[in-house]
Chains A and B, each alone.
Chain A
Amino acid sequence: MPRELTQNRIQKIWIPSKDDKPAVPRRAGGPYFTNSPTVIVMVGLPARGKTYISKKLTRYLNWTGVPTKVFNVGEYRREAVKQYSSYDFFRPDNQEAMKIRKQCALSALTDVKSYLLEEGGQVAVFDATNTTRDRREMILNFGKENGFKVFFIESVCEDPNVVATNIMEVKVSCPDYKDCNKTDAMEDFLKRIECYRASYQPLDPDNYDRDISFIKVIDVGRRFLVNRIQDYIQSKIVYYLMNIHVQPRTIYLCRHGESEHNVLGQIGGDSGLSSRGKKFSGALSRFMEEQNLKNLKVWTSQLKRTIQTAETLSMPYEQWKALNEIDAGICEEMTYEQIKERYPEEFALRDQDKYYYRYPTGESYQDLVQRLEPVIMELERQENVLVICHQAVMRCLLAYFLDKSADEMPYLKCPLHTVLKLTPVAYGCKVESIYLNVEAVNTHRERPEQDVKRGPSTLMRRNSVTPLASPEPTKKPRIKSLDDHMASTSTSLSGFAASDISTAGQPLLGKACLT
């Protein structure tokens, strides 16, 4: 007898009723698949963009709903060795330092294990140089022992300009060099790189490393070598890495001008601009001209109000259906008051869990993220772009750029007639908010006061799972006595004394759904 189905009230997903016994015992309970977690291992000399890639990739994976976290061994080292003195620490003949550095790597791997096996993580990014075969062998064994897939990302670059730029952007201002001037910092760092060079064994696809899964990124993405992709997530990672670039550029996000529905407090629909909305379009046009960009792409949705806004710019624009506002289903074109009156239960459910809540016959923010993923991918490929979209859509896009969690996303402030200018800088994104001085109604509804919020009990297809903000890197306490640790450490991590290292409590993250 097939099981009865009920529709979960928030996500509107059909699941077997809880009280029926399953006809056939199910793996892990429910219509989703569990997958081996993945350890992504960065490889490369210092200043080759490993941390840049780690952080960006983590932000992307989290946004698409794959719980991911970076483990940066350099940060472990900074916790262990409070004061960095000079590049001498990295000399290959500095035995004391070598011990500490190995210790830090092992400590980080312990945390990786904990994250992937106990904290609901799906992907861990192990960010370190990992330039020797020995080190990589150790990590492969670690992966094998714990049932993790291992995927290497090597960044190879010998363009001195790129390396110097990297050092200036992110190294000279790092804690290691807080007491140095820029020139000294640069000089020291270059010597640091040399310490690694002699022992650097790049991934060798033809022989030694032919059986491992990896991507070699050469010269900042001019060239890629991809070996033995094992699964969906590795394929997505490769695609993402092949689409990102480091050219300076700016992304402008804004909503359409105020619409007639906005004025009446009605959500959704396909109305035209109000007169203030038209005024905003003019202001937007002038603003974009002042920005004096050499090549600007303009994207709109396929709803009238964004297109009307773009029309005033007098430049070509491209319409994306994927940028349409969230579909409010049966609540389309109603005001919040009307919704509260006609569908009080739905109204309450939405406030309970605005990210997962799907309007009946409509969409949720979670659905939006899935729909917007190709837009994000194309934004990564592009350079200067102005995206004229809608409130919920803009919140999703902004959450990607600013690494906001699913919890925060539906409450991000995206007021009408305000342009957000996003510029990539160092490891993140600078954001400037420019109000174009044309009045408009406020369409922002704050998060209501409430107590416990529960996430969904059933998780769906990988593409539509919770975005999570990239977790804060775990801070390690200083390793007090190296000898104690050395005594108990073997090459295998299982012997490592985990009790000495405390993990900053990580909240239990929802299980991701992957094949």
Chain B
Amino acid sequence: MGTVCMTNCPTLIVTVGLPARGKTYISKKLTRYLNWIGVPTKEFNVGQYRRRCVKIYKSFEFFSPDNEEGLKIRKQCASTALNDVQQYLSSEGGQVAVFDATNTTRERRNVIIKFADQNGYKVFFVESICEDPDVINANIVQVKLGSPDYADCNTDEAVEDFMKRIKCYENSYETLDEVLDKDLSYIKVMDVGQRYLVNRVMDHIQSRIVYYLMNIHITPRSIYLCRHGESDLNIKGKIGGDSGLSERGKKFARHLGDFIHEQNIKDLKVWTSQMKRTIQTAEALGVPYEQWKALNEIDAGVCEEMSYEEIQEHYPLEFALRDQDKYRYRYPKGESYEDLVQRLEPVIMELERQENVLVICHQAVMRCLLAYFLDKSAEELPYLKCPLHTVLKLTPVAYGCKVESISLKVEAVNTHRERPENVTVNRSREEALQTVPSHL
């Protein structure tokens, strides 16, 4: 959205649900998404505060409702976390805070609502309800067994203890109620997204959050990201344009076809941009593909089809400004990485909906997509390494994403330009071109 006027009060997202219902999974994923689209967001996991406070976890009994000492500590941790939330939202420029805890009693939720009222925050609850034992077991195995709490237990002991832990919460669990909580803003996610109940969405950000939550899924799948094969302009060290593949680029396309067939991926979707080089690459695969204009390379405006040397010659000031803030810098009559992210958001949303997908795109575009999956900041994003002729295979695992880099063994020019040391506007030509990779 626009940048001139932003008078939104901060939002406090509050998770609700028994243990092992995916609250932390949702919190982390949502935080990653919101940060990527430019909304400063941070999660506050009360369990982590508890681990800092109570150095050693003994057993589920800590969570027993009769354990007064335990209750005091847990309440204290929640309080400390809320203080940090306040710090983040009111003093550190945060826009959204995700308060990740069970928050299963109305009493606890009222404390949070009061805290939010006092500070002028909007509150949005995200409740996860699931009674499918398979899903719960899978969650426990995926993320609980490896938790610091169970560092010294074997699998069976850990599972048994965790199940008893869940039981401690069950009796006092007050789900968000249609009548009692009718004035609150919330979404109830049921059975891992089979059903949703949405109540009183107040504003744009809550609407986007609901849309996002309704599009994500946890079905195992892989996303393959790669660039088009080496292009004629790549060889000359020129950026942008709409050239075709070089001989080596065509070879890569064939190798990519072989790779895809070997991988034997179920129901693979293939996406390209609308630029010739990605389409030529896809054509070699011999499978249907879908063209997205949104996947087109960053528009370099007046610098289109220039080499870095030519940019230095014709637009030395612009060149320096770009090095100063590569993420926000917009080419004259062109785009910035920031613009790219906005343009790619529907692609990300659709990637979330899909299962196995191969995205054949471009350097800047691939950096943006990768930054989303690997939770990279705006500062890191424009310098992520996305070499030609290399496929990145992303597989969701636990709370994040495993990434495998597969080089298809076809030589290509290097198009990666590191940030030079001197980014001032009065630098010399040599200093400006210090990090330009070699080309014809």
A5-B276, A223-B197, A320-B2 are known contacts. Are A332 and B333 too (CB-CB below 8 A)?
yes
**What secondary structure prevails in chain A residues at the interface with B?**
mixed
Flag whether B3 is at the interface (Cβ < 8 A).
Answer: yes
Within the complex, the shortest CB–CB distance from A371 to chain B, in Å, comes to: 8
Interchain CB contact under 8 A, B214 and A229: yes
Chain B contacts for A32, CB-based, 8 A: 288, 290
Number of A-B contacts (CB under 8 A): 123
Nearest to A227 among chain B residues (CB) is: B195
Q: B253: which A residues are within 8 A, CB to CB?
A: 2
Q: Are B194 and A228 in contact (CB under 8 A)?
A: yes
A378 touching B276, Cβ below 8 Å:
no
Q: Given A14-B276, A235-B215, A461-B290, is A205 in contact with B5 using a C-beta cutoff of 8 Å?
A: no
Q: Does B250 contact A (CB under 8 A)?
A: yes
Q: Does A321 contact B (CB under 8 A)?
A: yes
Rounded to whole Å, the gap between the CB of B373 and the closest CB of chain A is 20
A274-310 CB mask vs B (1 if < 8 Å, else 0) is: 0000000000000000000000000110000000000
CA distance A461 to B353 in the complex (A): 16
Instruction: Assess whether A23 is in contact with B286, with CB atoms less than 8 Å apart.
Output: yes
Question: Among the listed B210, B242, B287, B346, which residue makes an inter-chain contact with A242, where contact means beta carbons less than 8 Å apart?
Answer: B210
CA distance A507 to B310 in the complex (A): 53
CB-nearest residue of chain B relative to A268? Answer: B333
**Cβ-defined partner of B207 (8 Å) among A31, A225, A243, A461:** A243
Q: Which residues of A contact B304 (CB under 8 A)?
A: 361
A461 & B293 in contact (Cβ 8 Å cutoff): yes
Cβ-based interface call for B199 (8 A): yes
Question: What 1/0 flags go to B272-295 for Cβ under 8 Å of A?
Answer: 001110011011101111111110
A319 touches B198 (CB 8 A): no
Residues 363-414 of A contacting B (Cβ, < 8 Å): 367, 370, 378, 381
Interface centre among A33, A229, A299 (most CB of B within 10 A): A229
- Which chain A positions have C-beta within 8 A of B279? 5, 14, 31
Chain B residues contacting A463 (CB-CB under 8 Å) are 294, 346
Chain A nearest CB from B248 CB (Å) reads 15
Chain B, interface size: which category? 35 or more
State whether the Cβ of A27 lies closer than 8 Å to any Cβ in chain B: yes
Indicate if the CB atoms of A5 and B283 lie closer than 8 Å. Answer: yes
* A300 / chain B contacts, CB cutoff of 8 Å: 2
B7 proximal to A (CB < 8 A): yes
Q: Tell me if B4 and A317 are in contact (CB < 8 A).
A: yes
Q: Is B324 interfacial (CB-CB < 8 Å)?
A: no
Tell me whether A464 is interfacial, beta carbon within 8 Å.
yes
- Contact of A235 with B1 in the complex, beta carbons under 8 Å: no
Tell me if A435 is interfacial: C-beta within 8 Å of chain B.
no
Contact call B286/A226, Cβ cutoff below 8 A: no
Q: Flag if B288 contacts A227 (CB, 8 Å).
A: no
Q: Counting CB contacts under 8 A, is B402 at the interface? A: no
> Which residues in window 209-256 of B have CB below 8 A to A?
210-211, 214-215, 242, 244, 250, 253
- B196 close to chain A: CB less than 8 A: yes
Mark each residue of chain A from 139 to 152: 1 if its CB lies under 8 Å from any CB of chain B, else 0. 00000000000000
Closest-by-CB residue of B relative to A322 is: B342
Cβ-defined contact, A24 with B287, below 8 A:
yes
Q: How far is the CB of A38 from chain B (nearest CB, A)?
A: 16
Q: B269 at the A/B interface (Cβ < 8 Å)?
A: yes
Asked if B200 CB lies within 8 Å of chain A CBs, one says yes
In the bound complex, CA of A26 to CA of B287 (Å):
8
In the bound assembly, the distance between CA atoms of A75 and B287 in angstroms comes to: 46
The residues of B that contact A381 with a CB separation of less than 8 Å are 203-204, 207
Interface of B is mostly: mixed
Q: Annotate B340-358 by CB proximity to A: 1 below 8 A, 0 otherwise.
A: 0010001000100110000
**A33 touches which one: B7, B210, B214, B288 (CB < 8 A)?**
B288
Are A14 and B215 within 8 A (Cβ)? no
Q: State whether A461 and B194 are in contact (beta carbons under 8 Å apart), knowing that A316-B5, A317-B4, A319-B3 are contacts in the complex.
A: no
A223's contact among B199, B214, B350, B353, by CB below 8 Å, is which? B199
Contact A226 B195 (CB under 8 A): yes
Collect the chain B residues with CB atoms within 8 Å of residue A316's CB. 4-5, 7
Report Cα–Cα, A104/B280, bound state, in Å: 52
| Known contacts A232-B353, A367-B293, A378-B204; is-contact A238 B283 (Cβ 8 Å) | no
Find out whether the CB atom of B4 lies under 8 angstroms from the CB atom of A13: no
- What is the size category of the interface that chain A forms with chain B? 35 or more
Chain A CB within 10 Å, residue with most, of B200, B275, B279, B354 = B279
Contact bitstring B187-205, A, C-beta under 8 A = 1, else 0: 0000000111111110110
Of A2, A14, A232, A238, which is within 8 A of B274 by CB? A14
Q: Tell yes or no: A108 within 8 A of B by CB.
A: no
- Within 8 Å of chain A (Cβ to Cβ): is B339? yes
CA distance A146 to B160 in the complex (A): 50
- Residues in chain A near residue B200, CB distance under 8 A: 222-223
CB distance from B370 to the nearest CB of A (A): 22
With A5-B283, A223-B197 already in contact, the answer to whether A321 and B342 are too (CB < 8 A) is: yes
B291 touches A242 (CB 8 A): no
Residue A340, interface by CB 8 Å: no
User: Are B195 and A228 within 8 A (Cβ)?
Assistant: yes
Centre residue among B242, B269, B354 by max chain A CB count within 10 A: B242
Given A2-B253, A223-B200, A232–B350 Cβ distance below 8 Å?
yes
- A370 touching B293 by the CB < 8 A rule? yes
- Complex Cα gap A321–B2 (Å): 7
Chain A, Cβ-Cβ closest to B244 = A5
Q: Assess the B288–A26 pair: CB atoms within 8 A.
A: yes
Q: Contacts A2-B280, A13-B274, A320-B1 given: A205-B195 contact, CB under 8 Å?
A: yes
Chain A residues contacting B276 (CB-CB under 8 Å) are: 5, 7, 14
CA distance A370 to B296 in the complex (A): 14
Q: For residue A3, which residue of chain B has the nearest CB?
A: B283
| Complex Cα gap A223–B7 (Å) | 26
A218 to chain B: closest residue by CB:
B199
Which A-chain residue is minimally distant from B339 (CB atoms)?
A: A321
CB < 8 Å: which of B4, B275, B289, B294 contacts A31? B289
| Residues of chain B lying within 8 A (CB to CB) of residue A361 | 242, 304
A460 at the interface (CB under 8 A from B): yes
Residue from the set A14, A225, A235 with the largest chain B CB neighbour count within 10 Å: A14
Whole-angstrom distance between the Cβ of A209 and the nearest chain B Cβ: 11
Bound complex: CA A418 to CA B199 (Å): 40
Tell me if A318 is interfacial: C-beta within 8 Å of chain B.
yes
Flag A458-485 by CB within 8 Å of B: 1 or 0 each.
0011011000000000000000000000
A16 at the interface (CB under 8 A from B): yes
* Minimum distance in angstroms from B284 CB to a CB of chain A: 4
Taking CB atoms and an 8 Å cut-off, the chain B residues in 1-18 that contact chain A are 1-5, 7
Question: Can you add 9 more A-B contacts, CB < 8 Å, to A226-B214, A316-B7, A463-B346?
Answer: A14-B280, A16-B283, A225-B196, A232-B353, A235-B211, A299-B2, A367-B293, A378-B204, A464-B293
* Residues of A bordering B, CB below 8 Å: 2-3, 5, 7, 13-14, 16, 23-24, 26-27, 31-33, 205, 222-229, 232, 235, 238-239, 242-243, 299-300, 316-322, 332, 361, 367, 370, 378, 381, 460-461, 463-464, 513, 515
- What are 20 contact pairs spanning A and B, CB under 8 A? A2-B283, A5-B279, A7-B276, A16-B283, A223-B198, A224-B196, A225-B196, A226-B197, A226-B214, A228-B194, A232-B350, A235-B211, A235-B214, A239-B214, A319-B2, A321-B342, A381-B207, A460-B291, A460-B293, A513-B290
Going nearest first, the 10 A-B pairs with the smallest beta carbon separation are: A318-B2, A24-B286, A319-B2, A316-B5, A2-B283, A226-B196, A224-B198, A2-B284, A14-B279, A239-B211
